[in-house]
Structure 1
Amino acid sequence: MCLGRTVIAPRLEIDLDAIAHNARTLVDLLAPKGIRVTGVSKAALGSPGVASAMLRGGVTGLGESRVENLARLRTAGIVALLTLIRSPMMSQVDRVVRDADVSLNTEALVLDALSATAVRWRTTHAVILMVELGDLREGVAAEDVVDLARTVGQRPGLTLAGLGTNLACQNGITPDQHKMDELSRLVEQVEAACGVDLSIVSGGNSANLDWAMATRDVGRINELRLGESILLGTEALHRRVIDGLRTDAFTLVAEVIEAREKPVQPWGVGAQSAFGERSRRTGVGTVRQAILALGRQDVDTGGLTPPNGITILGASSDHLVVDAGDHAVSVGDEVAFQLDYGALTTAMTSPSAVKVERSAAPVNARPPPGSGVDVA
């Protein structure tokens, strides 16, 4: 807990050195396996500072799910291979070709639009076809991927850079050896059918780390798209802390606006709260209750971890109510929270939470020599 007063709260404090450390640790762990890392900065809303920290840590490129964030990185002068990791919207194909070097795709109509745009701009856009392996989010059926891959090379302005898959994000399906072997087999089939060498085989995200570190055979997998593990230091299947990684890259700080002794239990005729919930408070007596100027409009409060000895009692749009326990909390004091991935994404998109980045190193960074991926 931080005591004292500041003029900026709530604020999200971002330790860029912690992010660079996590990126470097993961890059070094995966390099002996022949797997490179694309740093996914989408949870940080395309922050150039966060992106630069990832590059400083040795990632070979950056992934973003929104083309607006890619444009932000371009405008900031970030020099890296930029990949759009969400299927492009038809309404944004011009911006995709302009700001993304590579995009993940599943739809023939979108490929047609990307091709026409690339031809009009006299450029080449690289494509990774995503394969459905069971998590039921994006992806072409395995039996259809060869046919779609054949058509990519027939579209002017496009080049087939590789295949990829996404697991665990939608339905929690584990990226295990069987799934990765299946992706490797599909790569071999596409290369044989299309007469190409695929330079990118993107096996997945931070949920793949348990598999990647345990397997003796990565097959054709040579890239992972890592966001949560770099930003929060945790793997994405069970949210365990990864050995050697820091978990303090992001801290959300809020100010106390009321501190009073209050009864544990509300009184009166009970009904629903503003969010359609009913009180679940337990216990008797009184608590040292504090209210913080932070609410569900700012962050997913269910993803916040308070300091030891402080318990979150509830939250509305603009108020977070806590039991301060034995902490002598006063009005104007600050309380610092750790965040899970859901809380981080919402705090980053909240205009009310001021973002404060700090680093002992220069924030401008370029990828290390020789780390680029040839997708032309």
Structure 2
Amino acid sequence: MPFLEIHLPKVRENAEKVLSLCKSFGIEVVGVTKVSLGDPTLAEILRQAGIKIIAESRIQNIERLLKNGIEGPFMMIRVPPKSELEKVVQYCDYILVSEPQTVEWIEELAQQLSKSPKLIYMVDVGDLREGVWYKEAVEEIFASFKLCKKARIVGIGTNLGCYGGVIPTPETLAKLISVKEKLTEKGLDVQIVSGGATATLRLVEEGKLPPQINQLRIGEAIFLGTDVTNDRVIKWLNQDTFILKAEIIEIKTKPSVPEGEIGFDAFGRKPQFIDKGPRKRAILALGEQDTVPKQLIPLLDGAQVIHASSDHTLVDITECKIDLKLGDFISFRLSYAALLRAMTCPHVEKIYMKEE
């Protein structure tokens, strides 16, 4: 079975550094644990680092946290479907919303359950994921505000990078700030301006984040020390926080191009091959069901991931100086997507490293 080493002290150090930087600019950090399937050990590490609000995208993950002794405040960062709203209102202190109808349903449930959830209305400033289009935002949010008595719209937010790959810039965030200013003119108390996720952290580092932004929802930077939207490693953070290890089940030298007519692989992809002559290859007991193999970063010099099926990952080890044998393990760092799948796969064992 492949296993994932989770280096808790390094995750905590990342969380503390991100929190310290953001605090110096008056920015609240919401710790996003969705990549971990609501892992209570990792949530507790964030709390130990000083992060108060834990954010999740699945109500089942919040239920897991509660069952394991992790208490709120919690934030639901995926706009909740109607079928899950009762639990969301029951368990979440903050809820991201983007539809007046959803606000109305939340208000009805808040009255029934005697809850007072705080709502953050999402504004689409260009990435084309969730949120009211920024040019139409003031009217829609103001109308939604009037629906609330028990529930309260306390802020606005946006998402950048996750769908359209739009990079946060002061100019892009100015659209969100303009919405805030117009709502304030209408008498709304907009306490929170949530300016995105890890992709926005770069602006904080460079001192370019508009001062009106007072909250960020951070997951990737804390857990991996990377920023995929800006295609960078965050050098002042740890990257060796999660290490995936998989066992070699075959070592053979074979041609580098398959023989026969090429169709599609098991995932509907048409693979491309470069003829490098005979190559020494290791097959690992690891596949697409466990992680995203093509986004693994080998820690073994000379190793290169070639391709993978659902249960097998092929690694070119021709250039490796170490004499590998069956039963040896190859170690990898992971991208965010690879970590997400590994954490949610029951076939990947999780091992918590409490000391370095």
The answer (yes or no) to whether the contact 1:33–1:218 under 8 Å persists in 2 is no
Per the alignment, residue 211 of structure 1 pairs with 203
Per the alignment, residue 189 of structure 1 pairs with 182
Number of aligned residues:
352
Per the alignment, residue 371 of structure 1 pairs with none
**Is 2:106 the counterpart of 1:114?**
yes
Inter-CA distance 156–11: structure 2 relative to 1 (3 Å threshold): same
Q: Greater relative contact order: 1 or 2 (C-alpha under 8 angstroms, separation 6 or more)?
A: 1
**Is 2:300 the counterpart of 1:305?**
no
Give the C-alpha shift of residue 217 in structure 1.
5.8
The answer (yes or no) to whether the contact 2:107–2:147 under 8 Å persists in 1 is no
Per the alignment, residue 333 of structure 2 pairs with 338
Inter-CA distance 87–271: structure 2 relative to 1 (3 Å threshold): closer
SS in 2 for 1:33: coil
Per the alignment, residue 353 of structure 2 pairs with 358
Separation in 2 of the partners of 1:346 and 1:33? 34
1:1-376 matches, within 5 Å, as 9-150=1-142, 151-196=144-189, 198-216=190-208, 218-306=210-298, 307-325=300-318, 326=320, 327-360=322-355
Structure 2 portions without partners, runs of 5+: none
- TM-score normalised to the size of structure 1? 0.88
The answer (yes or no) to whether the contact 2:5–2:243 under 8 Å persists in 1 is yes
**Aligned AA (2:174):** D
Give the C-alpha shift of residue 183 in structure 1.
1.6
Separation in 1 of the partners of 2:354 and 2:185? 48
Give per-residue Cα distances to partners, 1:246-266, cap 9 Å, x unaligned. 001111111111122333333
Give per-residue Cα distances to partners, 1:17-48, cap 9 Å, x unaligned. 11111111111112111112111111111101
Separation in 2 of the partners of 1:332 and 1:125? 52
- TM-score normalised to the size of structure 2? 0.93
The answer (yes or no) to whether the contact 1:152–1:158 under 8 Å persists in 2 is no
CA RMSD, Structure 1 to Structure 2 (Å): 1.8
Separation in 2 of the partners of 1:121 and 1:102? 15
Give the C-alpha shift of residue 274 in structure 1.
2.5
Per the alignment, residue 4 of structure 1 pairs with none
Separation in 2 of the partners of 1:26 and 1:157? 34
The answer (yes or no) to whether the contact 2:292–2:338 under 8 Å persists in 1 is yes
SS in 1 for 2:13: helix
Separation in 2 of the partners of 1:285 and 1:165? 50
Query: Which is worse superposed, 171-180 or 278-287?
Result: 278-287
SS in 1 for 2:245: strand
Separation in 2 of the partners of 1:145 and 1:107? 11
Separation in 2 of the partners of 1:271 and 1:105? 44
Separation in 2 of the partners of 1:257 and 1:60? 44
**Aligned AA (1:348):** M
Query: Which is worse superposed, 308-317 or 263-272?
Result: 263-272
Query: Which is worse superposed, 57-66 or 111-120?
Result: 57-66
Give the C-alpha shift of residue 276 in structure 1.
3.5
